[in-house]
């Protein structure tokens, strides 16, 4: 095979046995492998980070079950392209019947584009396989999502990535001819960000750049060669995750200048504005919370605004929100409260609800004491009565501790005035 075909493409697996990773899905007796080998493959959404084998898995599925394979990218395909493929599948006779339609980056499809798929999936004209790096609960409309199985693909492990490198060195004709000597793997793994495709392409670039093919490949050699080849911003690769991480941490750390800088990196790179706005919504609840409840309202308004206006004007709205969030007081008290409560529920999942808090819609339930001794808060002064709402096993347990900020200190005093000792102690 000619060397100008990228290494990652030359080494693309052609069977489930060659496929690397995702043992929970395609390992022996795993749920998706069983479905593939039985030929009963549902429409599905493959959700996972870049370079973990979503496209490869879709291709293998079509080959194993021997169905026609159509592929579209949501970046450049429109409703007409979708309908053309569906028409081929409907009218193509036995050679196109029940074809596999693979849509890469399905989260980038608009609602109308996704709606164009519904009838074809419902009637079995195509089996849809969508690939996405974003949570499909947010990015795929409910009607289409309800007709698909969602399979979560995991990042490849360090051993799996090193195994890919070693396999390439042993099987690729061009690499065998070069016979590179790899002494250190860390820089290759770090620069790839866990993306198998990127890892193999970096390996190919490094080996091709060596003046002496026999020169040992060390971390220093890899970084020197790659320094002049790194992209400014790859919204489909590791930089997508690195920049959004720096953006969030800058706002959490109350640095508006850094927040605006990383926002500019994403704006210039053409990042999806709703992705940025959604992450700010999460931060407003997780890192600001009750220290400034208006932050969540601001972030929600920002999310709705960027949905309506898009680029380039969204940059202004996003910048306003980023600065507001960065300069807001911070508290993670509500985040910690729900996680502590979830941990308690998972440890003790079946603690009974106190009888006085239970609903009593039938005579028998009333006779059993359901709802008795419940005191209606609005029937008491100040719309409050000191009443026990926790199960007996959790009496006095504190999940929510007000943060050290002026707003929550007011809440702390409000709670102490009503509950006394219950809010005198800390977790």
Amino acid 314: pLDDT: 86
Task: For residues 93 and 168, state if they share a domain.
Answer: no
Residue 39 placed within a domain = yes
CATH label of the domain that carries residue 104: 3.40.50.300
Range of the domain at 108: 21-152
Task: For residues 209 and 255, state if they share a domain.
Answer: no
Residue ending a domain, choose from 97, 117, 152? 152
Amino acid 283: pLDDT: 94
Residue 11 placed within a domain = no
Based on its alpha-carbon atoms, the radius of gyration of the chain, rounded to whole angstroms, reads 28
Q: Measuring CA to CA, how many Å separate 154 from each of 47, 53, 121? A: 9, 10, 26
Task: For residues 134 and 218, state if they share a domain.
Answer: no
Report residue 385 as tokens.
């009565």
CATH label of the domain that carries residue 281: 1.20.272.10
Residues 6+ apart with CB under 8 A from 74: 103, 104, 105, 106, 107, 108, 109, 113
Residue 333 placed within a domain = no
Task: For residues 59 and 148, state if they share a domain.
Answer: yes
What sign does the dihedral 389-394-395-399 (CA atoms) show? Answer: negative
Residue 13 placed within a domain = no
Task: For residues 217 and 121, state if they share a domain.
Answer: no
Amino acid 92: pLDDT: 60
Amino acid 229: pLDDT: 55
Task: Give the pLDDT of the chain (427 residues) as one tens digit per residue.
Answer: 444 678 888 888 888 888 888 889 888 888 888 888 888 888 899 998 888 888 899 889 888 888 888 888 877 777 788 888 888 877 765 444 578 889 888 887 777 778 878 888 888 788 889 898 888 877 788 888 888 888 999 888 889 999 999 999 898 888 888 888 888 888 888 888 778 888 888 888 888 888 777 788 888 888 888 765 554 445 555 566 778 888 999 999 888 888 998 998 888 777 788 889 999 999 999 999 989 999 999 999 999 998 887 777 888 999 999 999 999 989 888 888 888 888 888 888 778 877 777 777 777 767 677 777 777 777 778 888 787 777 878 887 888 778 888 888 888 888 887 877 776 655 4
**Is residue 44 classed as helix, strand or coil in its secondary structure?**
strand
Q: Minimal CA–CA distance to 54: which of 35, 38, 37, 32?
A: 32
Residue 335 placed within a domain = no
Report strand pairing: 149-152 vs 181-182. unpaired
**Is residue 181 classed as helix, strand or coil in its secondary structure?**
strand
- Split into its structural domains, the chain has a count of 4
d(CA 413, CA 143): 47
Task: For residues 44 and 145, state if they share a domain.
Answer: yes
Is residue 3 within 8 A of residue 11, CB to CB? The reply is no
Residue 209 placed within a domain = yes
Residue 407 placed within a domain = yes
Residue ending a domain, choose from 226, 251, 271? 226
Amino acid 2: pLDDT: 47
CATH label of the domain that carries residue 213: 1.10.8.60
Q: Determine the longest span between alpha carbons in the chain, in angstroms.
A: 89
Task: For residues 366 and 399, state if they share a domain.
Answer: yes
Task: For residues 169 and 252, state if they share a domain.
Answer: no
Task: For residues 144 and 162, state if they share a domain.
Answer: no
Report residue 116 as tokens.
């164009």
């Amino acid at each position: 095979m000619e060397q100008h075909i990228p290494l990652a493409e030359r080494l693309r697996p052609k069977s489930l046995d060659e496929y690397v990773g995702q043992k929970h899905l395609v390992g022996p007796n795993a749920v998706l492998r069983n479905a593939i080998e039985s030929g009963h493959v549902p429409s599905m959404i493959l959700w996972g980070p870049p370079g973990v084998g979503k496209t490869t898995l879709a291709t293998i599925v079509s080959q194993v079950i021997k169905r026609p394979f159509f592929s579209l990218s949501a970046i450049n395909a429109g409703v007409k392209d979708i309908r053309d493929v569906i028409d081929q599948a409907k009218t193509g006779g036995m050679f196109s019947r029940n074809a596999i339609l693979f849509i890469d980056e399905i989260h980038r499809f608009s609602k109308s584009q996704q709606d164009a798929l519904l009838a074809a999936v419902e009637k079995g004209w195509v089996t849809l396989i969508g690939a996405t790096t974003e949570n499909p609960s947010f990015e795929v409309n409910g009607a289409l999502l309800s007709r698909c199985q969602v399979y979560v693909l995991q990042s490849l492990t360090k051993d799996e990535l090193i195994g890919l490198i070693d396999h390439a060195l042993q099987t690729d004709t061009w690499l065998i001819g070069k016979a590179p000597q790899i002494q250190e793997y860390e820089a290759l793994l770090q620069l790839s960000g866990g993306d198998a495709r990127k890892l193999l392409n970096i390996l190919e670039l490094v080996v091709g750049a060596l003046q002496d093919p026999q020169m040992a490949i060390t971390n220093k050699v890899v970084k020197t060669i790659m320094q002049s080849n790194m992209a400014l911003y790859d919204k489909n690769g590791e930089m997508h995750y690195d920049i959004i991480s720096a953006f969030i941490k800058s706002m959490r750390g109350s640095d508006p200048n850094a927040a605006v800088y990383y926002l500019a990196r994403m704006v210039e790179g053409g990042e999806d504005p709703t992705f940025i706005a959604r992450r700010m919504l999460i931060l407003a609840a997780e890192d600001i919370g009750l220290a400034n409840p208006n932050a969540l309202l601001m972030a929600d308004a920002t999310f709705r605004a960027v949905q309506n206006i898009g680029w380039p004007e969204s940059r202004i709205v996003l910048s306003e929100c980023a600065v507001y969030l960065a300069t807001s007081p911070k508290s993670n008290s509500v985040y910690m409260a729900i996680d502590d409560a979830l941990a308690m529920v998972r440890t003790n999942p079946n603690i009974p609800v106190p009888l006085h808090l239970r609903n009593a819609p039938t005579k028998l339930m009333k006779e059993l004491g359901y709802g008795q001794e419940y005191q209606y808060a609005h029937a008491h002064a100040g719309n409050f009565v000191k009443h026990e709402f926790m199960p007996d096993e959790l009496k006095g347990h504190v999940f929510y501790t007000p943060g050290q900020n002026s707003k929550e200190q007011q809440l702390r005093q409000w709670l102490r005035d009503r509950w006394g000792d219950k809010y005198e102690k800390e977790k």
